Amino acid sequence: MQNATHVIEAALDRLLAEYVFEEKATEVAAVVRTRLAEGAYEGLAGPEFCAAVTADLQQPTGDKHLRLLWSEEPQEVDGEEDEDFFAELARSENQGIRRVERLAGDVGYIDTTLVPEPGEGGPMISAALSLVANTKALILDLRSNRGGSTYGMSYWCSHLFPGGESLHLTDVYRRTTGLTQQFWTLPYLPGERYLDRPVYVLTGPVTFSGAEDLAYNLKVRGRATLVGETTRGGAHPTGYYPLSEHISVTVPYARSINAVTGGDWEGVGVVPDLAVPADQAFDVAYQDALERLAAGPAA
């Protein structure tokens, strides 16, 4: 239990120092310490321990980004954010590009699993879009996308909005610095943009974080039709901090402020334009695209 106590206190130290809502951090810490004193985590180990602590971390806030994570593979522990974790994950998942296809009826389809950093992931995103560059409509599948980089979200959006002048997408306010960072589309891209054609975005209960950011921006700007189920509801940029060889804590250190709405999707998710079960979203979007194309340019 001594090791569990050490891990929990290390997690709470990080939470109290960085969590985006300072007053909530104090409340969360009190809940978890009370549960620890009650013996709630005794006899638990590995993933079960992490799941139990995560439930108590999230109970006062509903913040799904606030978690203890178990890793089967040993990891280095240095007290700093592990920036290599996501980079390695993105490489293992082909920078989030799982499938690219040109469907019958001249409709492009891109299936994704995460939103990568543009440094490594940008060429893959541009390559995927180049394969569907000459289609007449596009379906972007985010149903299995667990999120990722705000920079990557901006890179995706840059391909779907005109160049020349940048478009202000969102701001990110960071508690620890008190600074707000702006995110804009890029005026120049190495590949073609996908413009003046219908775009459909498929969403579901797995769609999370950076993927929600992408869907949200495309929706509020009227650039895409969202089809599927409401997304999971995590809007806070998050750091990943190893606490032991097998346990890490993720702490939301910032919040998103959309340039159009002034708000975000935290706790409520992104609501689709066409609400259907997630497993039916592709069929509905594809049929709608075919009917829209058959009706002509004015549709």
Bridge partners of 187? none
- CA angle 138–186–118, rounded 5-degree value: 75
Q: What is the pLDDT of residue 83?
A: 65
Radius of gyration, CA atoms only, the chain = 20
Q: Which residues contact 269 (CB under 8 A, 6 or more apart)?
A: 212, 230, 231, 232, 233
Please say if the pLDDT value at position 61 is more than 50. Answer: yes
Mean pLDDT score of the chain? 93
Going by pLDDT thresholds of 50, 70 and 90, the confidence category of residue 74 is confident
pLDDT digits (tens, 9 = 90+) for 236-258: 988 889 999 899 999 999 999 99
Q: What is the separation of C-alpha 176 from the centre of its chain, rounded to a whole number of angstroms?
A: 21
Helix (H) or strand (E) holding 284: helix 281-295
118-131 vs 83-92: helix axis angle to the nearest 10?
20
d(CA 184, CA 187): 9
d(CA 48, CA 34): 19
Least trusted range by pLDDT, from 34-43, 78-87, 93-102, 265-274: 78-87
Q: What is the pLDDT of residue 3?
A: 84
Please say if the pLDDT value at position 2 is more than 60. Answer: no
The domains found in the chain, sorted by start residue, are 2-70 (no CATH), 93-234+269-295 (3.90.226.10)
Q: Which residues contact 48 (CB under 8 A, 6 or more apart)?
A: none
State pTM to two decimals. Answer: 0.87
Please say if the pLDDT value at position 8 is more than 80. Answer: yes
Residue 66 three-state SS: coil
Q: What is the pLDDT of residue 73?
A: 83
d(CA 13, CA 33): 12
Burial class (CB in 10 A: 0-12, 13-18, 19+), 66: buried
150-160 vs 118-131: helix axis angle to the nearest 10?
30
Q: Which amino acid is at 213?
A: D
The pLDDT of 91-111, averaged and rounded, is 97
Going by pLDDT thresholds of 50, 70 and 90, the confidence category of residue 1 is very low
pLDDT digits (tens, 9 = 90+) for 203-226: 999 999 999 999 999 999 999 999
Residue 71 three-state SS: coil
- Give me the phi and psi of 157, to 5 degrees please: -60, -35
d(CA 51, CA 271): 27
16 close to 33: Cβ distance less than 8 angstroms? no
pLDDT digits (tens, 9 = 90+) for 154-213: 999 999 999 888 999 999 999 989 999 999 999 999 888 999 999 999 999 999 999 999
